[in-house]
Amino acid sequence: MLKGWREVVIGFVIALFIFLGIIGVNILPFVGVALVIGVIYLAMKSRGGSLTVGRQQRRVGGSSKPSYLTFEQIGGQERAKQELIEALDFLINHEEIKKFGIRPLKGILLTGPPGTGKTLMAKAAAHYSNAVYAAASGSEFVEMYVGVGAGRIRDLFKQARDQAVKEKKENAIIFIDEIDVIGGKREGGQQKEYDQTLNQLLTEMDGIYSNSTPRVLVIAATNRKEMLDSALLRPGRFDRHIRVDLPDKKGRLHILNIHAENKPMDNSVQLDTIAVQSFGFSGAQLESVMNEAAIYAMREKLEQIEQRHLTMAIDKVMLGEKTDREATNEERRRVAIHELGHAIIAEIVRPGSVAQVTVSPRGQALGYVRHNPLKDQYLHTKEFLESQIMIALGGAAAEEIFYGGRSTGSSNDFEQSLQIVETMMNAGLTNLGITNVQIVTQEERMKENERIMNELFKRTRNELESHKMVFEKALEFLISEEVVSGDQFRRIFCDNIQLPA
């Protein structure tokens, strides 16, 4: 908005000068005044701009105390916290490390998925090292005017040092979030604004000396480390690269317990069960689960949060809120058959994995099966991946058995299956063998993809046809109740399974 007004004013002034010149008015004094104002304005812009400096001063001075938190308040990142604490000890015990000739670290790069606590760890680092905390986002340094970003980098470092002197602290931590915005790989050719900003950041980091106080440590965070310029990643700049991953089961339980401290929980609540069901959730998502569960309890005007509220909250975080879409009876029946196809195959290939089957519309889904992972697993065999594909194909296979054809509801299932097939090809788990998939012709890949999908679809359909009695018993129950728990589904499955003769 300000930029638009600035252009209008400049255009108006130029038009005014032209008009005055045409009618014979001496415009030289006015031109002189305009030049003086222009020079002053450009000088201010080269220093980062008075408005920007003021905003950053508020961030440096205002966030140094109230927003601090400790490492104990961050759950699920024990390895990452330990690495960061070790690096901070170099900053704190500077006299001791001199004896061993250790060069203090200048920068620490936190990488990992969104919501894993990178910003929280930077704040905890400032508290641990008793340092001034200056924070900025990478997008704040990017402008269309050359030199503005570089000026803001200079101001940020200067203000961090000045604030540390003012508060009589020996250390200052500068946190730059989304550093990939200004630290992306530089290309040849004409210099760009963010290239100058990156160059200024490199210069400032090279100018950090451990012997002078206040000592400055730069902590940066990114979700895309592969996008960063190699000059940033070399030793002497960002010396430590700390991976902040999604929490495992133990970490998820720790995070849930932290966010449950200020909430009234019913005695029957089992957070370890929620930790299992929330496989793949980030810390931010787990906090949202606890918050949504509290909202559900408040809606029902209850005094305490119950287990079912937490289960409902997981569904909401994963898929969104329930919708008001009214489906026809035939469509509800088709959705139920589709979801039971997923659930039955899941129970066959991975017994005990079904947590819930529902035909209640939520988000973009008309129905869904929530799976309960038996354990955290990061390495997968060919057999496991094939079973995942069969679970995904179960819905389409069930529709074919009962209706003789498929519907558009299987599109996401097919997309998921194709992604797993691609993973198998890249890992050398197909008939293509161990090869560079990039040099395999598209025709060969399509043939192998078709072979795998057809073979697994046939196996899936055969399994479902041999469990038709489970369909018959579970179908009406699911349609009437809308939601079937994993235990209820397994009872129906075990009572109606057809044993081989």
- The C-alpha atoms of residue 277 and residue 281 are separated, in whole angstroms, by 9
Neighbour-count burial for 179-188, b at 16+ CB within 10 Å, e otherwise: bbbbbbeeee
- The C-alpha atoms of residue 467 and residue 498 are separated, in whole angstroms, by 6
- The C-alpha atoms of residue 156 and residue 467 are separated, in whole angstroms, by 66
Q: What is the dihedral of CA 489, 494, 497, 501, to 10 degrees?
A: 170
* Angle between helix 442-465 and helix 411-426 axes, rounded to 10 deg: 120
Q: Cβ atoms within 10 A of the Cβ of 234, count?
A: 11
Return the residue matching tokens 């290309």: 187
Strands 107-111 and 215-222: parallel
Burial (CB count within 10 angstroms: exposed 0-12, middle 13-18, buried 19+), residue 482? middle
- The C-alpha atoms of residue 423 and residue 421 are separated, in whole angstroms, by 5
Residue (of 474, 460, 475, 467) closest to 499 by Cα position: 467
Q: What is the dihedral of CA 20, 24, 26, 30, to 10 degrees?
A: 0
Strands 368-371 and 483-485: unpaired
Based on the residue annotation, tell me whether 178 is a catalytic residue of this protein. no
- The C-alpha atoms of residue 352 and residue 374 are separated, in whole angstroms, by 8
Please give the angle made by the CA atoms of 459, 464 and 466, to the nearest 5 degrees. 100
Task: Determine contact, residues 215/105, Cβ cutoff 8 Å.
Answer: no
For residue 110, the surrounding DSSP H or E stretch is strand 107-111
For residue 370, the surrounding DSSP H or E stretch is strand 368-371
| From 339, 347, 386, 400, active-site residue | 339
Residues 6+ apart with CB under 8 A from 326: none
For residue 135, the surrounding DSSP H or E stretch is strand 131-137
Helix ranges, 261-378 (H): 271-277, 283-299, 307-319, 329-349
Task: Determine contact, residues 218/176, Cβ cutoff 8 Å.
Answer: yes
Return the residue matching tokens 């489906």: 327
Task: Determine contact, residues 362/315, Cβ cutoff 8 Å.
Answer: yes
- The C-alpha atoms of residue 286 and residue 317 are separated, in whole angstroms, by 9
Active site residue ranges: 339
